[in-house]
């Protein structure tokens, strides 16, 4: 198994499980990741996804250039519709995704981070888009996503040098939400998960769907767009429950409907 996919309650955990290869993604893992994201898109019982890599050394070292499956190295030259790992610029997954970055996030691995909504990283984590150093380009999200996430010069500094940037530096740039000691990584991620689960599931979907579908629009146009997830949240039982729980000074009990 190249990717572990586990669910517990309203949480899904997706783990690239190739630690001997620094969790580099080969053709089989790429196919499995796409299958997992498609499955999650069809579910209404999941409110948070945690994406990570197995072991302590790497989140994901990008494409496995030693992979000889499918079309060999040339397979990786073809951009995927949803970006690297099926997540780098996926816009149809309305569930919040947390990147749990435990080590190296290089090339496609960093592109996967760029596709996540919240990034929690160990202070030992390192991020890089080194494709230029091996005569390639970050085709599957890096070139188009990074300049949209951080200031132009900072993005170009990474893209044009391939240098590894520590988690603390990316935190100062606003790309990483929180940095912690490696031993505290799981506890920190679970705190973020708990905060997400405290929110109404339909509200979370409506928020993410609106952000993803309206980024190209002027504010007035975006505000006027009534997307399906937004309508569902506005007319939900959870919307009534949230107000009632606030008035009664208790925690809401979300039903996801």
Q: Domain with 184 in it: what CATH number?
A: 3.90.226.10
Q: Is residue 59 part of a domain?
A: yes
Active-site option among 41, 56, 111, 178: 111
Assigned domain for 253 exists: no
Structure pTM? 0.93
Whether 204 and 193 map to the same domain: the answer is no
Mean pLDDT of the chain: 92
Give the pairing type, strands 58-60 and 11-16.
unpaired
Instruction: Answer yes or no: do 204 and 232 share one domain.
Output: yes
Query: Residue 174 CB: number of other CB atoms within 10 A?
Result: 11
Is 139 found in the same domain as 220?
no
Residues 229 and 120 in one domain: no
| Higher per-residue confidence, 173 vs 217 | 173
Q: State both tokens at 127.
A: 């991020």
- The alpha carbons of the chain give a radius of gyration, in whole angstroms, of 19
Q: What is the mean pLDDT of residues 158-166?
A: 97
Domain that holds residue 228: 200-248
Of 156, 173, 197, the position where a domain reaches its end is 197
93 and 115 co-located in one domain = yes
**Domain match, 219 and 104 both:** no
- Using CA atoms, how far apart are residues 59 and 52, in angstroms rounded to an integer? 6
Could you tell me what percent of the chain has a pLDDT over 90? 73
Domain count for the chain: 2
**Same domain (yes/no): 62, 19:** yes
Name the active-site residue from 34, 56, 131, 237. 131
Last residue of some domain: 197, 221, 237? 197
Between 111 and 233, the more confident residue is 111
Do 35 and 108 share a domain, yes or no? yes
Q: How far is CA 162 from CA 128, 131, 156, in A?
A: 6, 7, 10
* pLDDT tens per residue, range 98-138: 999 999 999 999 999 999 999 999 999 999 999 989 888 89
Which candidate, 116, 136, 114, 140, places its Cα nearest to that of 127? 114
Q: Does 233 share its domain with 115?
A: no
Whether 132 maps to a domain, the answer reads: yes
Q: Among 197, 217, 232, give the residue marking a domain's end.
A: 197
* 134 located within any domain: yes
User: For residue 170, how far is the Cα from the chain centroid?
Assistant: 16
Active site residue 241: no
Token representation of residue 40: 């999650």
Using the predicted structure, report yes or no on whether residue 75 has a pLDDT greater than 60: no
User: Is the domain of 119 the same as that of 180?
Assistant: yes
Tell me if residue 131 is catalytic: yes
72 has a pLDDT exceeding 50? no
């Amino acid at each position: 198994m190249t990717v572990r996919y586990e669910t517990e309650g309203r949480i899904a955990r997706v783990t690239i499980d190739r630690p001997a290869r620094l969790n580099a993604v080969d053709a089989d893992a790429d196919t499995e990741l796409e299958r997992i994201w498609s499955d999650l898109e069809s579910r209404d019982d999941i409110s948070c996804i945690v994406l990570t890599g197995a072991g302590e050394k790497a989140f994901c070292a990008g494409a496995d250039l030693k992979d000889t499956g499918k079309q060999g190295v040339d397979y990786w030259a073809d951009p995927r519709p949803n970006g690297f790992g099926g997540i780098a610029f996926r816009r149809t997954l309305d569930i919040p995704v947390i990147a749990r970055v435990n080590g190296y996030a290089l090339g496609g691995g960093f592109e996967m981070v760029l596709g996540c909504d919240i990034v929690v990283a160990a202070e030992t984590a390192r991020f890089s888009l080194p494709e230029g150093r091996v005569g390639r380009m970050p085709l599957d999200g890096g070139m188009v996503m990074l300049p949209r996430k951080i200031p132009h010069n900072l993005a170009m500094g990474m893209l044009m040098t391939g240098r590894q940037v520590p988690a603390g530096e990316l935190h100062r740039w606003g790309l990483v939400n929180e940095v912690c000691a490696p031993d505290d990584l799981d506890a920190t991620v679970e705190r973020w998960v708990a905060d997400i689960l405290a929110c109404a599931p339909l509200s979370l979907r409506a928020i993410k769907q609106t952000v993803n579908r309206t980024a190209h629009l002027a504010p007035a146009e975006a505000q006027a767009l009534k997307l399906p997830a937004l309508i569902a949240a506005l007319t939900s039982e959870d919307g009534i429950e949230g107000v009632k729980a606030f008035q009664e000074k208790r925690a809401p009990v979300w039903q996801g409907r």
